[in-house]
């Protein structure tokens, strides 16, 4: 297996799916001549031309709507948002049209569209450009929502998303684009949408997380606790937020009897809050302690780097939550 960046894994997935199916095209701001705001589409215009790699104006509602129309007539568009902060402007198209077309047609129409781009903190980009907004899309029936944590997962899940008959919201992290990991060399490496992955086996407590929090907060905390406190942590990476693979989470909790939920978004009405509610409802008898949660503090994102670090879950805050749920403070 080759070790490549998260960015390169996404690029490989795009290249392979566009080569496999000539109905797949990419559209978004700066995806063509500039090779993408984060260079995810590097080289795609050179290979596939400007009719399949399309630079759009700064009009999110319009070009997302254009992609929905293209999917409606049989194309497979991949719409890149420069950031999901700008996706707020396209929520009418996403939630009122993409999410509902199959239902309102009685299942006659499919809508194979992927809407992808960075989500969450970007590093001193302040309150309007650093929001983790996955809960907006998870809230809406008719959408699938995917949020990978590693380069291998990014490639396998993006390929699956492109092939899916339904609209998929594919959320990346700006702070993961340079993150390296091993990716299988198989050109048809595809992961199933709707499955969690147990990234670390453990026996004392289950940590449920997704996205950048896995690599930047949870795994460093797990390593520290194993050495300093002797706490054995099992880590479940949700990967697909909707539909949720609750069974894998519950199976882990049956073994460890404790749970910590770690997410980058705000705590109120979040994806994590919903997962915790489901665990309390269906796994309450297996819990030996109340669930602990680590989330973004309930404030807008500060601009200053030191304050940004304070409001997002860190290895230290995750370790504290694990100790608390294990009564090891």
Tell me the catalytic residues: 60, 129
Which residues, 6+ apart, have CB-to-CB distance to 195 below 8 Å?
Answer: 239, 240, 245, 248
The rounded distance, in Å, linking the Cα atoms of 115 and 79 is 5
Residue 149 near residue 196, CB atoms below 8 Å:
no
Q: Beta-carbon neighbour count of residue 124 at 10 Å?
A: 15
Q: Are strands 233-237 and 197-200 parallel, antiparallel or unpaired?
A: antiparallel
Q: Which two tokens stand for residue 260?
A: 């910590």
CB proximity list for 263: less than 8 A, separation 6 or greater: 132, 209, 210, 211, 213, 270, 271, 272, 293, 294, 295, 296, 313
């Amino acid at each position: 297996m080759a070790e490549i960046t998260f960015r390169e894994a996404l690029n490989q997935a795009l290249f392979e799916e566009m080569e496999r199916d000539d109905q797949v095209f990419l559209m978004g701001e700066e995806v063509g001549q500039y090779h993408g705001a984060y260079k995810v589409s590097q080289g795609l215009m050179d290979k596939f031309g400007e009719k399949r790699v399309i630079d759009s104006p700064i009009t999110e509602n319009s070009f997302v709507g254009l992609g929905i129309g293209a999917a409606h007539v049989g194309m497979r568009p991949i719409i890149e948002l420069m950031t999901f902060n700008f996706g707020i402007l396209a929520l009418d198209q996403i939630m009122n049209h993409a999410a509902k077309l199959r239902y309102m047609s009685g299942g006659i129409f499919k809508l194979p569209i992927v809407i992808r781009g960075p989500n969450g903190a970007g590093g001193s980009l302040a309150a309007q450009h650093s929001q983790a907004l996955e809960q907006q899309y998870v809230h809406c029936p008719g959408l699938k929502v995917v949020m990978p944590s590693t380069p291998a997962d990014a490639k396998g899940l993006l390929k699956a998303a492109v092939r899916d008959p339904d609209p998929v919201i594919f959320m990346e992290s700006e702070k993961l684009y340079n993150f390296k990991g091993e990716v299988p060399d198989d050109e048809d490496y595809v992961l199933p949408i709707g499955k969690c992955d147990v990234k670390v086996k453990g026996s004392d407590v289950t940590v449920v997380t997704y996205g950048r929090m896995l690599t930047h907060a949870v795994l460093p905390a797990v390593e520290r606790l194993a050495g300093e406190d002797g706490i054995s942590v099992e880590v479940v990476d949700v990967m697909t937020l909707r539909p949720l693979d609750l069974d894998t989470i519950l199976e882990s909790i049956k073994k460890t009897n404790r749970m910590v939920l770690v997410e980058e978004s705000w705590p109120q009405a979040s994806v994590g809050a919903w997962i915790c509610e489901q665990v309390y409802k269906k796994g309450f008898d297996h819990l030996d302690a109340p669930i602990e949660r680590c989330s973004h503090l309930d404030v807008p994102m500060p601009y200053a780097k030191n304050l940004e670090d304070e409001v997002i879950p860190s290895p230290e805050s995750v370790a504290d939550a694990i100790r608390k749920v294990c009564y090891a403070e």
